[in-house]
A = this chain, B = another copy of it.
Amino acid sequence: MNADYSQILKEIYEETLELQGQGRVAAYIPALAGVNPKQYGIAIQTLQGESFQIGDALLPFSIQSISKVFTLTLAFQTLDEALWSRVGREPSGNAFNSLIQLETEHGIPRNPFINAGALVVADCLISHFPNPLAEIVQFARKLSDNPTVNFNTALANSEREAGFRNAAMVNLMKSFGTIHNEVNAVLDVYFHQCSLMMNCLDLAKAFLFLANGGVNPWNGRSILTGSQAKRINALMQVCGLYDDSGEFAFTVGLPGKSGVGGGIVALIPNSLAICVWAPELNERGSSLIGMKALELFTTKTGISIF
């Protein structure tokens, strides 16, 4: 049961290095555009408490949309099923930042992992917590067992200044009445959560409760009910990678969540969580090397939920 993933990580790392140069670092956020595209790390954290890593696995990076799993978890804790009157749970079939469905579907986002959905979740947190940013960063620290996790305020500000598309979404939803707080307050929470700096090991640890029935494995504290944890996994499976979700299910076959910083976290229920980080993205905004590394991981280990 206590597999040694060191050799497999080594193989994956070597076989995928040749893909460097084939993707493109996210260019629309100035502070991200300057990231070194050669950085590359993988970390695995098992429920048995073992961890495996290779490359830049301890180098913090901007987790971007991976943070949507944290805020969704917080909102799900807080609102439980009532959350789903605010946001749907179907694949959108559109790009992560599309406004089209918002206009035709009365300002209710298809799911909490597209940007519009995460903005609604941020709005929910603002309504519920006096200090939502403190809540989010504390939660990320607790989940990753790393008290040094923090926002990158410079990055958040940089994104805020270029974040016209997200501002368009919040304004459009506000026009439908599906955002309850101030436009700028929602954007502020959103851009800060995206700026969270964590490394591969932090993220593998932080997702482990979802592989463990909602319970934090190292302290036994319940984050979500077992049913809730399964449901977040199911949502990640069908919409975690936007319009790459089908491809990810097809080639990797695990619940996962990507971010335009180049990170992808996936998990094997009752077993482990794995995070790959490589900043160059494919055309749909997923880490090009990350996709391939995770495909190799399930192929080489034979692990699958299907």
Contacts and interface: CB of A to CB of B under 8 A. Distances in A.
Interface of A: 88-94, 98-101, 103-104, 110-111, 164-165, 167-169, 171-172, 174-175, 183, 227, 229-231, 233-235, 237-239, 243-247, 249-251, 253, 255, 269, 299, 304-306
A91 B91 contact: yes
Contacts of A230: 253, 304, 306
Contacts of A104: 100
Contact of A90 (B89, B175, B234, B245): B245
The 6 closest A-B pairs by CB, nearest first: A93-B93, A91-B91, A90-B246, A233-B306, A168-B171, A164-B175
A246 B255 CA distance: 13
B239 A246 contact: yes
Nearest to A269: B306
Contacts of A172: 99, 164-165, 168
Nearest to A91: B91
B306 A89 contact: no
Given A93-B91, A245-B90, A305-B306, A235 B250 contact: yes
A177 to B, nearest CB: 9
Residue of A98, A171, A299 ringed by the most chain B CB atoms within 10 A: A171
B88 A246 contact: yes
A174 B167 CA distance: 10
Contacts of A235: 246, 249-250
Nearest to A230: B306
A176 B243 CA distance: 21
A90 B93 contact: yes
A89 B246 contact: yes
A164 B171 contact: yes
Contacts of A110: 93, 246
Contact of A111 (B100, B244, B246): B246
Given A253-B234, A269-B305, A174 B183 contact: no
Contacts of A91: 90-91, 93, 238-239, 245-246
B101 A103 contact: no
Contacts of A250: 89, 231, 234-235
Nearest to A210: B306
A306 B255 contact: yes
10 contacts: A90-B243, A91-B246, A93-B101, A110-B246, A164-B171, A167-B171, A168-B171, A229-B306, A238-B238, A305-B305
Contacts of A304: 230, 269
Contacts of A243: 90
Nearest to A84: B250
Contacts of A227: 299
A226 to B, nearest CB: 8
Contacts of A244: 90
